[in-house]
Structure 1
């Protein structure tokens, strides 16, 4: 491995153009480097920080451009899973006037402008998870979003972006919770509460004010990272047994339940709430 010294971010160097694809793939396969952005690599020992992201972007963004879109959200601290299905970010910038902030000499769209433009241009599930993440990490506030949105659409706008801004909620703690909430909204169900207290537990989403036969409905997004091992699944079962004793019916949701083609989620929730879901699904 190369000595750990500066600069540790590079755009294909120190190899020649003819050597680069083979050399980079070899170093990546050995776990010695990783790709930060499309065409920009870093020593694998360097932690992912905003300073690193800025340094990487400064290699590829023209000096008079403004970083925008998903790249701006990434600079503001939002992870790629929240922004789209691709594991690698392609830099986005513009030469058009935008509300900006300056980060170490790099112009970046302001957090509020970034959020609104994501709501306008990303697919709806990722637009909502990006808005929720920006609010959750306190990069921007709801008041700032609503104040800035007047430059993009009217207060009573029914555009998809305006509706997503009204649905955004910083209490969502993961992209899966945001996607789940959008599915419920699109199906026409009542707006659920987030981070619902239930005894010594806290539910991702729930309907504490809509009991059916003295039972209330809770929904939890079980990510593969935290709910896959035998030990984790035993813990989940124990937790749901406790919640059942407290009068909660829990529907666990996995990623494939959110992105699959069959509307099992809507039908299951509708059956418990005694409501017909609005179908077909919109995404």
Structure 2
């Protein structure tokens, strides 16, 4: 028997309404919608709730945006949000009945969803990877949009296809945001924070870093920089602390970075508290290291950098730019 049961599916297994009620009473099943039951251990999982919404409403109700990206296996929820806290986002075709208002469901309507944009995964109707990438790039806040797009590009979603779709949306809502996000995308990013760092550096008018730069160390081992500007031999690495907690990990990081510096690279290490609390501090260090490496900004680039540092120094302005 499957973890999720709708009333029709339960009937196919030979279960009557009395059987279902008895199984709910004994704890073998949990009732999660009027006609939906769950036999697993996590009824609040986003995939479970998404399937329940689709089964309980209409085949024209399709998981989209962050919900669809999460179902595709990508890390796209806002920082600090778990899947049990995130609502099920669905798109409803204009010809369909809007699903009943209920807690934990956010519905959008559209008349521009092609049948080719819809597929099924794990029993849930959802937008395809390509359409989900497009929607995330268009509707999510700037930093999170690029982080989502990077993950889709890493999975093989075509940038050329997204560029073509972005061109077709010229003049429509968030079309400019979509074009900018697609241009900023880089499938080499290994985590959302790395994507955020790269966007902040680029937005400041500094030379755009390239992700995952391959370096051959003096002992013939290979190392990869999170990102860097090869022309000026400045590397940028995000250190969130999640995978660097043991003394062995710390020692390995220090050894690896010492070997990279022996190759003539300067490294800027970005800490989690800087990225999420005071990004201007690490951008100043990046600018200083680039200057030391020979970078000379034009007057326009200097003005852009100063403007960005002021913006990032204001929590309100930073929120308007990157979280709205």
Structure 2 counterpart of 1:94: 91
Q: CA offset at residue 36 of structure 1? A: 4.7
Q: RMSD between aligned alpha carbons? A: 2.9
Structure 2 counterpart of 1:129: 147
1:89-134 per-residue CA deviation (whole Å, 9 max, x = no partner) reads 3111121231322215643223222222212221111111000001
The SS at the match of 2:227 is strand
1:173-207 per-residue CA deviation (whole Å, 9 max, x = no partner) reads 21121011011012111111111112221101011
Change over 3 Å in CA distance of 1:67–1:143 after alignment to 2? same
Query: Are positions 1:33 and 2:38 aligned together?
Result: no
Change over 3 Å in CA distance of 1:106–1:190 after alignment to 2? same
Q: CA offset at residue 151 of structure 1? A: 3.2
Match of 1:144 among 151, 157, 161: 161
For 1:151 and 1:67, the matched residues in 2 are separated by 23
For 1:9 and 1:260, the matched residues in 2 are separated by 41
Structure 1 counterpart of 2:61: 65
Conserved in 2, the CA contact under 8 Å of 1:83 and 1:130? no
For 1:268 and 1:102, the matched residues in 2 are separated by 46
Q: Judge which range, 58-67 or 243-252, deviates more.
A: 58-67
Change over 3 Å in CA distance of 1:108–1:270 after alignment to 2? same
Runs of 4+ in 1 over 6 A off after TM superposition: none
For 1:198 and 1:261, the matched residues in 2 are separated by 30
Match of 2:231 among 209, 217, 223: 209
Structure 2 counterpart of 1:8: 3
Larger helix proportion of the pair: 2
For 1:173 and 1:242, the matched residues in 2 are separated by 21
Q: CA offset at residue 233 of structure 1? A: 0.9
Q: Judge which range, 190-199 or 145-154, deviates more.
A: 145-154
Change over 3 Å in CA distance of 1:253–1:9 after alignment to 2? farther
For 1:253 and 1:130, the matched residues in 2 are separated by 20
For 1:182 and 1:195, the matched residues in 2 are separated by 15
Change over 3 Å in CA distance of 1:150–1:106 after alignment to 2? farther
Match of 1:108 among 115, 126, 135: 126
For 2:170 and 2:125, the matched residues in 1 are separated by 24
Q: CA offset at residue 244 of structure 1? A: 1.1
Bigger Rg, which one: 2
Alignment: residue pair count: 241
1:41-61 per-residue CA deviation (whole Å, 9 max, x = no partner) reads xxxxxxxxxxxx3x6522122
- Aligned pairs for 1:1-283 within 5 A: 6-9=1-4, 15=24, 33-37=41-45, 53=47, 56-61=49-54, 62-63=57-58, 64-79=60-75, 82-85=76-79, 86-88=81-83, 89-95=86-92, 96-97=110-111, 98-99=113-114, 100-103=117-120, 106-138=124-156, 140-153=157-170, 159-199=176-216, 200-210=222-232, 216-261=233-278, 263-274=280-291, 276=302, 277=305, 278-279=308-309, 280-281=311-312, 282=318, 283=322
Conserved in 2, the CA contact under 8 Å of 1:10 and 1:56? no
Q: Which runs of 5+ in 2 are unaligned?
A: 7-20, 33-39, 93-109, 217-221, 292-296, 313-317
What TM-score does the superposition give when structure 1 sets the normalisation length? 0.75
Q: Which runs of 5+ in 1 are unaligned?
A: 1-5, 25-31, 39-52, 211-215
